[in-house]
Amino acid sequence: MPTWNLRAEDLEAILRLSPDGELTWEVSRGGCPVIRRSRLGLVTAHEDLTRGLVFEGIASEAIEESYGTVTGKRREHRYTATEWRLGFARNGHRLVLRVRIGGGGVAYRYEVPWSGPVTVCEERSEYVLDPGARAVLLPYENGRCDYEEIHRHTTVGAAEPVHYGYPSLFQVGESWLLVTEADLDSGYAGSRLAFDGTAFRLDLPDPYVTAASPLRTPWRTAVIGDLASIVESDLVTSLAAPSRVADTSWIRPGAAAWSWWSDGPSTRDLEAQRRWVDFAAEQGWPYVLADAGWNKEWMPSLISYAAQKGVGVFLWSHWQHVDTELEHREKLALWKEWGAAGVKIDFTESDGQDRMRWFDAILAATARLELMVVFHGGTIPRGTERTWPHFMTAEAVKGAEWIKPKPGKEPLYPATHYLSLAFTRNVQGPMDFTPCTFTAVRTISAGFELALAVLFESGIQHFADSIESYRSRPEAAALLAQVPTAWEETRLLSGDPADHILLARREGGHWYVGAGVAGPARTLTVPLDFLAEGEWAADIYRDAPGDRVLAETVTVIAGDKLAIPVAADGGFTLRLTR
């Protein structure tokens, strides 16, 4: 049986071709199995490329890339990997398997060269894991683009045989594994995982996908390592196509005031929107979001008013209202002429190939017009922020939108929901949870809620509570006036997706630490080994009685251990200044 042992870093992928010409792979880390023997292959309209394959040849090359992003957990990236290209054929029809190992993970993609357009009818890619492995899985309703669910904490053996969305997180022995995909464009459709009780099999939303030859699938991506390397990983971004925007000087991450969450009718009221502009300026936030209901008769006036205050305006739109090139020219260009900073486009609701064509078109159009873009009601980013740096964030999460204050409403999210997102969805890319909603129907403490400003990364961070709520919590408002939305460095200090998180991020000369726990009150100890030498002022924002936030300042030095009490389902934030 032909076998190929592909090694880099502490990872090894073993590929085998059976006597029947069926291709499989398995992955180990440090000699310990992580992914068990799993099938590979594609069924195309012109040939079944899952069996009867004959090996043609193998070649390899070193991959070394350095690139920058405008947003993210870091903005300077270096990706080093080894890529192998294995060629196979059946009846004269070829399949190329590209395998990369490096950057803390293993990824592969298929290429199908042919004489004309290639149609894929089925993908046989799968992941077989130890039934005893821990699993943090996102239920995905088949037939919908549904990333707005609460993760299930289970084991592979106990998981329900249903569809699950990306990314999926597993603990196999001493290793953690994040399964997802990267570099998706209009040449394919977004996939999800269908679990049959034994294997997690890739499932496509369309009966088939078609692209010009050579067809290339997205990278089937497995981030593998300890939990810190999962959270800190930028492998999804590194596998994406390079930037298509040469000049990024007009793209500026930042916080935004958002009135819809606390006061839905305010989006239809010019004077109300001006009050939100005033508040954004007061807080030092560079943006406001005018959500559904704004009026074209007064919007130019609002944008002009905001500009005088140094505030940019994002405009909401349904995706079907900017669905054609004519609408791009007539609407997007008009909004740019008014002076809009960007657009929030909603209800995209599909992982299908046709919607991927729309994403490619709208991202190209907004780039030409120098409009930043936010997507809601749709799919996850798959390295989009590298290819299209004006893409600032996407929803694709069960966020604060679902827990707006309502009399008699029961809390919807357990504390583990917030932890799960930091270890799964936000690893994938920017996430528009719309955090720091102190008046939400919530289980977590005010200290944990405030810490979400650091724990959740989003190029545009929409702070969604009311003006009155923030003004009534001046300690929280003071932190939110300073906290960055794009970072130079991110480190997981400790954590577990079902128990707690201590996450440190740096921007310039300031470090921020966000912390949250699920379960009983306790004391968390923050190791300050990441600080440079010298004295640092540590501003601590922690839980106080009455669901309040207490602010205090202490002096620390590198190497100190700072012990901070945390309430049940509570949290805190540190801001460290030299």
Give the model's pLDDT for residue 141: 83
pLDDT digits (tens, 9 = 90+) for 273-296: 999 999 999 999 999 999 999 999
Token pair 């990314």: residue: 167
Q: Are 495 and 227 in contact (CB under 8 A)?
A: yes
Closest CA to 366 of 351, 387, 383: 387
Give the rounded percent of residues in the chain with a pLDDT score beyond 70: 100
| pLDDT single digits (tens) 12-26 | 999 999 999 999 999
- Give dist(CA 51, CA 161) in Å, integer: 26
Closest-CA residue to 485 (of 295, 307, 187, 283): 283
Judged against a pLDDT cut of 70, whether residue 39 lies above it is answered with yes
Please tell me the distance from the alpha carbon of residue 273 to that of residue 267, in angstroms, as a whole number: 7
Give me the DSSP letters along 139-167: E--TTS----S--EEEETTTS-SSEEEEE
What element of type H or E holds 368? helix 353-369
Per-residue pLDDT at 409: 86
Q: Is the pTM of this model over 0.95?
A: yes
Question: CA geometry: angle at 421 spanning 143 and 137, to 5°?
Answer: 50
The structure tokens listed for 557 are: 């030095």
C-alpha–C-alpha distance, residues 148 and 145, integer Å: 9
Paired tokens of 242: 């390079």
Q: How far apart are CA 552 and CA 538, in angstroms?
A: 8
Rounded Cα distance, 137 and 171, in Å: 12
For the segment 297-323, the average pLDDT, to the nearest whole number, is 98
Is the per-residue pLDDT at 155 higher than 90? Answer: yes
Ramachandran angles phi, psi of 232, nearest 5°: -85, -5
Q: Is the pLDDT of residue 556 over 90?
A: yes
Is residue 346 among the annotated active site residues? yes
Among residues 470, 465, 523, 526, the alpha carbon closest in space to that of 494 is found at 526
Q: Distances in Å between the alpha carbon of 562 and those of 32, 293, 526, 559?
A: 36, 47, 5, 10
Q: Are 55 and 2 in contact (CB under 8 A)?
A: yes
384: tokens are 């989009």
**Residue 543 vs residues 188, 221, 475: alpha-carbon distances, Å:** 47, 39, 11
Alpha helices in 433-556 (DSSP H): 446-455, 467-471, 474-480
SS3 325: helix
**Rounded average pLDDT over 561-569:** 97
157, pLDDT greater than 90: yes
* Nearest to 39, CA basis, from 55, 16, 23: 23
- Find the mean pLDDT for residues 37-47: 98
Strands, E assignment, 2-117: 3-8, 11-17, 23-29, 32-40, 42-44, 48-49, 54-68, 76-90, 93-102, 105-112
pLDDT in tens, 492-551: 999 999 999 999 999 999 999 999 999 999 999 999 999 999 999 999 999 999 999 999
Catalytic position from the list 401, 465, 475, 539: 401
- In the predicted structure, residue 165 carries a pLDDT above the cut 70: yes
pLDDT at 236 over 90: yes
Residues whose CB falls within 8 Å of the CB of residue 247, separated by 6 or more in sequence, listed in order:
none
The answer to whether 486 and 506 have CB atoms below 8 angstroms apart is no
Q: What is the pLDDT of residue 143?
A: 66
**What single string gives the DSSP state of each residue in 466-518?**
-HHHHHT-HHHHHHHTT--SS-SEEEEEEEETTTEEEEEEEETTEEEEEEEES
Please count the residues of the chain. Answer: 578
CA angle 148, 154, 158 (to 5 degrees): 115
The pLDDT tens digits for 439-459 are 999 999 999 999 999 999 999
Identify whether 354 is a catalytic site residue: no
Q: What is the pLDDT of residue 146?
A: 86
CA distance 200 to 530: 38
3-state secondary structure of 213: coil
What is the pLDDT of the chain when averaged over all its residues?
A: 97
**Residues 368, 362: Cα–Cα separation, whole Å:** 10
> Catalytic one among 181, 346, 457, 539?
346
Residue 60, pLDDT above cutoff 90? yes
Report the pLDDT value the prediction gives residue 407, as an integer from 0 to 100. Answer: 85
Between CA 111 and CA 123, with CA 117 as vertex, the angle to 5 degrees is 45
pLDDT number for residue 134: 98
pLDDT tens-digit readout, 366-382: 999 999 999 999 999 99
- Name the packing angle between helices 299-308 and 270-283 (round to 10°): 20
In this predicted model, which residue has the larger pLDDT, 407 or 273?
Answer: 273
Reported as type and span, the H/E element at residue 119 is strand 118-123
